[in-house]
């Protein structure tokens, strides 16, 4: 289809031609945009008190299995930590446990930095502009970046450490939002998606 204007048209013709050009642009945009895909999400919130202990350790486990895992194309978690005071004496660290993933392809920790996601391990830097808040996004090892053959299930585990270096009490709220995106428009039947967040021994 040719959308370029031609010389010699009347004002009415020019107006109609302008509308045609706009319509052509809309059709081209629709044709080149990516089709919608299925998506599943989960949110976990945990409140942590650092008053009688200097270190708390949390374990985030994300498990995918069956047809849901076979069709998944990417996944990530967003971690938001808010504290009741300036956290200049707090270490907020996120690292992936060894053995995460399904073992059939390279894990996300080997993929480097991609799409604004920071590779692990990661340690928060509380800035003067936001002394009581930290935000971090990390790509999951489930699903792996390689879309080749996969195992039946995949488990990714992230260890989250909160440690203070002073005796001042500190209370924090950690929100973790997990998102899995598929390859196709409709979510496949069957399969599993489970997320858990628990406190473990330091």
> What's the start-to-end Cα distance of the chain, in Å?
65
* 71 and 154 fall within a common domain: yes
% of the chain residues with pLDDT over 90: 61
Interacting residues of 54 by C-beta distance below 8 A, sequence separation 6+: 163, 164, 165
* 58 and 109 fall within a common domain: yes
What is the pLDDT averaged over residues 35-61? Answer: 93
Q: What pLDDT was estimated at residue 31?
A: 44
Mean pLDDT of the chain: 81
Q: What pLDDT was estimated at residue 180?
A: 97
Structure token digits, residue 122: 């990661």
* 2 and 96 fall within a common domain: no
* 19 and 48 fall within a common domain: no
What is the pLDDT averaged over residues 161-179? Answer: 95
Q: What pLDDT was estimated at residue 53?
A: 83
* Other Cβ atoms closer than 10 A to 179: 16
* 190 and 166 fall within a common domain: yes
* 16 and 52 fall within a common domain: no
Is residue 181 reached through a cis peptide bond, with omega within 30 degrees of 0 on the bond before it? no
Structural domain harbouring 186: 39-200
Query: Comparing 28-37, 40-49, 91-100, which segment has the lowest mean pLDDT?
Result: 28-37
What is the pLDDT averaged over residues 48-71? Answer: 94
Q: What pLDDT was estimated at residue 12?
A: 54
- 175 or 29: which carries more pLDDT confidence? 175
Count of structural domains within the chain: 2
What is the pLDDT averaged over residues 63-77? Answer: 95
* 173 and 109 fall within a common domain: yes
* 161 and 89 fall within a common domain: yes
Q: Is the pLDDT of residue 36 over 90?
A: no
Distance in angstroms (rounded) separating the CA atoms of residues 168 and 114: 37
Q: SS3 of 12, please?
A: helix
* 60 and 76 fall within a common domain: yes
Interacting residues of 184 by C-beta distance below 8 A, sequence separation 6+: 37, 38, 71
Decide if 162 contacts 91 (C-beta within 8 A).
Answer: yes
Sheet holding 39-50, edge to edge: 39-50, 170-182, 72-83, 133-139
Decide if 63 contacts 194 (C-beta within 8 A).
Answer: yes
Report the CATH number that the domain containing residue 126 is assigned in CATH.
2.60.120.380
- 40 or 26: which carries more pLDDT confidence? 40
* 115 and 174 fall within a common domain: yes
pLDDT band at 95 (very low <50, low <70, confident <90, very high): very high
* 78 and 6 fall within a common domain: no
* 185 and 166 fall within a common domain: yes
């Amino acid at each position: 289809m040719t959308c370029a204007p031609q010389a010699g048209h009347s004002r009415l013709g020019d107006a109609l031609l302008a509308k045609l050009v706009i319509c052509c642009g809309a059709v081209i945009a629709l044709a080149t945009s990516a089709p919608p895909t299925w998506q599943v999400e989960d949110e976990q919130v945990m409140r942590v008190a650092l008053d009688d202990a200097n270190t708390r350790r949390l374990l985030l486990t994300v498990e995918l299995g069956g047809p849901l895992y076979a069709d998944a194309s990417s996944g990530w978690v967003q971690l938001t930590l808010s504290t009741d005071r300036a956290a200049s004496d707090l270490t907020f660290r996120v690292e992936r446990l060894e053995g995460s993933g399904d073992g059939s392809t390279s894990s996300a920790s080997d993929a480097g930095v991609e799409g604004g996601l920071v590779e692990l391990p990661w340690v928060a830097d509380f800035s003067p502009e936001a002394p009581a808040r930290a935000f971090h996004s990390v790509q999951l090892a489930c699903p792996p970046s390689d879309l080749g053959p996969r195992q039946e299930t995949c488990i990714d585990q992230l260890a989250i450490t909160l440690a203070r270096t002073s005796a001042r009490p500190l209370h924090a709220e950690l929100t973790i939002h997990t998102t899995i995106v598929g390859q196709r428009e409709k979510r496949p039947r069957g399969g599993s998606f489970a997320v858990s967040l628990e406190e473990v021994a330091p």
